[in-house]
Structures are given as structure tokens and as C-alpha cells.
Structure 1
Amino acid sequence: MRRAVTLAASPGVPLHPNPRVGCVLLADDGTVVGEGFHHGAGTPHAEVEALRVAGDRARGATAVVTLEPCNHTGRTGPCAQALIAAGVRRVVIAQRDPNPLASGGRDTLLAAGIEVEDGLLAAEAEEVNRAWTFAHRHGRPFVTWKFATTLDGRSAAADGTSRWVSSLAARRDTHVLRGLCDTMMVGTGTVAIDDPQLTVRDTDDRDVAHQPLRAIVGERDIPAGKRVLDDAAETVHLRTHDPVEALRTLYAEHDRHHVFLEGGPTLAAAFLRADVVDEVIVYVAPLLLGAGACAVGDLGITTIGDALRLEIVDTTVVGAGPDANVRLVLRPVRTAVSKES
């Protein structure tokens, strides 16, 4: 199974819209007779690729796969039926499929008399498709809130200037992280004031084949001529102030699984109050301003005992010398029932 997980996480495979999957076919003596992984939407699934490599040797073999074989016909046929047709004797599954459209392969295999075991290295397999899994389980995209701040928590100076709080190295690092998501999100206020383009740029691979969707949240119109209206990427305007509604629309109508929230302090506060921020990435610059805009707006917290607490997942120094920032990756500590539910 560890080999299957490694195959699923092969470099260069898109993180969306399809899950990344790896499959290894084993003969009775443990010999690998075939393996494969899903290369992206519209390409053969991992099981089909492994079966093609194995050929007749697949009969009586054990298929070890990171995700429950699909049970529906989309751009390709159902993998559960392909395994049955190939004469596979046993299937070992890491993660059950949370997508109701594709799930059910396990039961189909059992009904065909194939031995099935599931749950082996499930956590490792789920991590390969972290956002995809979360989105299908919760009915909304996983949300990463990214912001930059000075040591005293300012995102802009008193005169409103904010370029650049973060360093050049941090900004380049941000573009790499943008490329891991399928949606960039800001509010209409940020569009009106900062006029961001919200695209992936300044990465080692400058020819970015697929840009994230640009989602603009808020009821006011987007002024003509703003860069989010150019043809560099697709843009959707979500005319609502409700973070939960915006996220569910992205999931249900646009098949989006991972939102990179880069809005200002007002939008960030709204998402935090709604308890729909799942990860926080902050670049802390070695600067002091003493006044200016705060990194986040009013959260309705009046006493230290009610503070929103975050668990530190990772700490990294990005850049060197005067260009260095500290990047913190944090996870909100949820001790109560989520407000979105």
C-alpha cells in the first residue's frame, strides 16, 4: 500500500478536480505484476492502467488501491467492473470514496464474490487528496486563509500603503501555494482598492497551464477595467456576504475543493466568525509599524478566554537576510460544534 500511496502522489499530477490514486497488482507470491496511477481528468484510472500493464497476469491477483474503485461511468468506465472483468481475486482499499457520485465500488466487488479489505493506511491515502476528501465530506471547499503581517499585527501602514509587507521571497512562495488550490478568493472591497489579478505567477514553471478560479465575494458590482475581469483566468462573482453560502455554491455549482482566501481583514473575519477557515498560512515580516490596518477585523471577542486558538503545524524561514520572512502554517483548534453544520 505504501507503494500505491507513493504512486498516487507522483509529481506533476493535478490536485483537482479528480482525486490522485495509485494501484499495485500483486500475484499470490507477492510479485508485482502491474501498477499505475491516475494522471488527471480524462485519463485512465489507476486500476485500469495497472490492469493494462498486468495483462493476463491480473487474473487471481490482489489489487492494492489507495481509493475505493469507482462505481460509475464518467469520462471513463467504472473501475470496479474493470477489476471484476479482469478476474482479480482480492482488493485492498486504503480510503473509502466520500464522493456519492462515484462510491459503491466496494459493495459491487463484494457482490461479485471478490474479497475486499479496506482501511489500510487510510490516513496516508487521505492526505494525498486532503482538500478533495474534505470537500466531499463537508459539502464545501477546504479553506486556506493566507495573509502577511508585521510583527505588531499590521497588514498596512497608517497611510494605507501595504506593498510590500511581505518580502519578495515570501511573495514567490505564495504563488507556489496558490498553484496548489483551485480557487482564489477576495472580497469586492479588495478588488476595488487593490485591483489584484489573482493569478499564479513568478513560479519556476512560468507557463502555468491552469489558473485557479477567481471568486469575488460581495454584493457590490465589480468596476469595469479591474484585472479580475481580464482573460487570464475565469472569474465568478458570488453576490453574498455569507461565507457558508459562498463556499457551498463553489462546491455545488463549480466543483471546487480548495479555496485560497486572500481577502482583506473584513472578509477574513467573516470566514473566521463562520468557522469555515480550515488552515491559516501567515508570513510574518520583521517590521514594526505601530499603527495601521490590522490583519483581521473584529471577531466579536472581548476577553482572552474566548480567543480563537490555533495549533502550529509548521514553521519555516522563507528567504534569507533582509529578505527573510517567517511562514507559519496553523490549524484552528475546534472545540465546539462547527457553526456551518
Structure 2
Amino acid sequence: MREPTSLADAAHMARAVELAALGRGTTSPNPVVGCVVLDASGEVAGEGFHAFAGGPHAEVVALAAAGERARGGTAYVTLEPCAHTGRTGPCAEALLVAGVTRVVVAVADPNPQASGGAQRLRARGVEVEVGLLADEAERVNEEWLTFVRLGRPFVTWKFAATLDGRSAAADGTSQWITSPEARADVHRLRAQADAIVAGIGTVLADDPHLTARPAESGGGLAGHAVRRPPLRVVVDSDGRTPLTARVLDAAAPTLLALADDADSPLEDGRAEGLPALAGVEVVRLARMQGGLDLHGLLKHLASRHVVSVFLEGGPTLAGAFVREGLVDRVVGYLAPAFLGEGGAALGPAGASTIADTHRLEFQEISPIGPDLRVTARPVPKEK
């Protein structure tokens, strides 16, 4: 007989969440999903996760591992099994064919094109429960869930600073405030994102490459898919990006976000005396007070199936994102050092009084080499 206790159910779903996390960075624009299948006696018969877009879904992988043992068993899935046919068949149907009699789901699918799996299973006599470990499953899949629910990418703002909050010295130098270990960790996070966003100030000051080192990239199953390099996005209201900027090279595609009234020789990827710049595109956005329409930028990125954004802009751009309520997660690398003067990590963010403070809650604080990595999330403001 299958295990009847909620503790057993929770343990199996927790394992499914762990499995889902293995797909982070390689499934976009699809969600990360984990699945555990038990046989009729309650023993684990198969496990799986969605490893890459276009590949088999978690349920299919777990059912293949379970084989005939799935018949009469239970499946634990972090996201409601899909009911539509895309690049792969509907997972709800795969569960029915396998003879699974009970399905435990953590999070209902908010995508109207794919939802309905639970209803389809129930209609065929399968016992379906929804909501077990929903918070944990939401957290591991937060990028995709934000993308579907809000129609924009999930935004992570990363910064590096001294303990007194300085991201650059008084003379403008900023390399390197943090350690090699912290910088390697940044490349790991970059590689998991669909787009890396920086402002023109950062491009002019540091000439960054905005790429993820291949040795640091990862997530999911090695060898199953070639992860596309993150799209490089430069927020450049007035079209000041130099033609020699490293962000315009062929290492990765680049999108220049310009004001709709700005002049730029890079329009349509052309420049005087130069052939079309391969992989460079331009998007025109409305000029807003203090910069560009960031909501419009994120909407455009969503139309390109960009699910997650890694924001590495300077203090001005970061402040604008925070002010507009467009930062979903903050990852700060704090070096055990003081400067006492120099540039702050965050510019004006619309908090002129204590009552307007942007409050955060810590999620994780961990050592990275000699530095600290602090992960925090905005606390929704009371209306």
C-alpha cells in the first residue's frame, strides 16, 4: 500500500523541488519542474526533472525511469502537469497512459495555454491534490512564474560594495572591490539568466563584456543542450555607446535600448564606414523623466521570451529599477573593506523620507571567499 502520511508526501515533494532546481538556467523559456513517481507499494520507482527547453518534461523522464512500476502508483510534481501539446506531448496524458492513480501537485499552472492537467486527470478518475509545499515550489520556479503572471521578466539586481556601501572609489576605480571567488559566483548567476542589463554609464566607465565565462556556466544536465549566451542589453538613452565597446562584439547578441528621439550610428546595426554589426539590435523606447521607459523595456524583453534579467547597471539605473518596483531579488557581494568616500551602490530610488524606505527581507547570507553574499527580496508595501 502507498504511504498514507502527510510527512511522507512532504518528503517526496521536497525531493521533487530539489530535482526541479537542477534545471535552473537551461529550461528557459520553459519552467523548471521536478517529479517523483512511487510504485503501488509506496517505494520510489522513478525521478526526473525538465533539463532543457524542447526536451522531455519531468513527468516523462520520471515515468520512463519507473516503467511498469508506475501503474497504480503516485506522482509528485512541482507544477501542474500540462494538458496541451507543444514541442512535447501533454504530461497529463502520459500519467494516464502510465496508469498512475494519484497525483500530488505543488503549484497550479498559471499559463492558460498549458493549464487544465489536474482537471483532465480528475475527469479520468485520478486522485489529484494541489498545494503541497507550494511556497518552496514557487521559490524554485519564481522566474518563470513571474514571467507568466506579470508578463515581464524576473529581475535580479546584483551589486558589489564595501561594508560602507561604496561601489567605486572617489577616483572612479571599482576593479576589484570583491574577491575572485565572488566574481566567479557572479558569472554563475549570469549564466543562469536570459539577459544581462547594464546602463551606458557602466559601459563608458568600465567597458564590460557582459558575458558569462563558459567555465562558470551551468545548471541542468551537462551535454544535453547548448545554453544560449545571455542577451546583453545596454540602456543608452542618447545613443552614446562607442563603436569600440566590448559589448558590441560577436561573443553574444546585444540589444541597445535607445530613446525614441535619440540619434545613433548603431541604429539597425549600422555605423559609418563599418558593415552591419552582427548580433546587434536596437529597440526604441519612450523617454521618461530620468531615463527610459523601463516597463516598456521589460515588456519588449518578455516578447523575446526573456524570462530572467540580471541587472548589473550602475547606481543610476539600479535606482530607477528600484524606484519603479521592478526588482524582484537583490544579490549583494560585500567586501570586508571601507572606502569612506566614492560612489554608492544605489542611486536615487524614490525614497526621500524614512516612510518611503524600500524594505527588504533577507533570504540568505553566506560567505564567498573573504566576502559575504547577501540575498534579499523586497517586502511589498502596504497600500
Q: Considering the TM-score relative to the shorter chain, is it more than 0.5?
A: yes
Structure 1 residue aligned with 2:234, among 207, 213, 216?
Answer: 216
Find the residue that maps to 1:179 and give its secondary structure: helix
Structure 1 residues not aligned, in runs of 5+ = none
- 1:100–1:261 Cα change, 3 Å: same
Corresponding residue of 2:247 = 228
Aligned-residue sequence identity (percent) comes to 55
**1:13 deviation in Å?**
7.2
Contact 2:24 2:32 in 1 (8 A): no
**1:180 deviation in Å?**
2.6
Corresponding residue of 2:301 = 250
**CA distance, structure 2, for counterparts of residue 42 and residue 300 of structure 1:** 42
**1:299 deviation in Å?**
2.5
**CA distance, structure 1, for counterparts of residue 167 and residue 45 of structure 2:** 56
Q: Equivalences for 1:143-162 in 2 at 5 Å?
A: 143-162=155-174
Corresponding residue of 1:304 = 354
- 1:310–1:36 Cα change, 3 Å: closer
**CA distance, structure 1, for counterparts of residue 181 and residue 205 of structure 2:** 24
TM-score by length of 1: 0.87
**CA distance, structure 2, for counterparts of residue 265 and residue 280 of structure 1:** 13
- 1:161–1:58 Cα change, 3 Å: closer
Q: Which amino acid aligns with 1:71?
A: A
- 1:65–1:202 Cα change, 3 Å: closer
Q: Is residue 293 of structure 1 aligned with residue 343 of structure 2?
A: yes
TM-score by length of 2: 0.78
- 1:24–1:147 Cα change, 3 Å: closer
Structure 1 residue aligned with 2:376, among 305, 312, 330?
Answer: 330
Find the residue that maps to 1:77 and give its secondary structure: coil
Q: Is residue 315 of structure 1 aligned with residue 362 of structure 2?
A: no
**1:159 deviation in Å?**
2.2
**1:330 deviation in Å?**
1.9
Q: Equivalences for 1:1-341 in 2 at 5 Å?
A: 1-10=13-22, 14=26, 16-201=28-213, 203=215, 209-221=227-239, 222-239=241-258, 240=285, 241-251=292-302, 253-319=303-369, 324-337=370-383
**1:203 deviation in Å?**
4.8
**CA distance, structure 1, for counterparts of residue 210 and residue 124 of structure 2:** 49
Q: Which amino acid aligns with 2:296?
A: E
Structure 2 residues not aligned, in runs of 5+ = 1-12, 259-284, 286-291
- 1:90–1:287 Cα change, 3 Å: closer
Please, which moves more after superposition, 98-107 or 302-311? 302-311
**1:11 deviation in Å?**
7.1
**1:205 deviation in Å?**
6.1
**1:202 deviation in Å?**
7.9
**1:224 deviation in Å?**
1.6
Contact 2:40 2:70 in 1 (8 A): no
**1:192 deviation in Å?**
2.9
**CA distance, structure 1, for counterparts of residue 122 and residue 205 of structure 2:** 58
Equivalences, count: 332
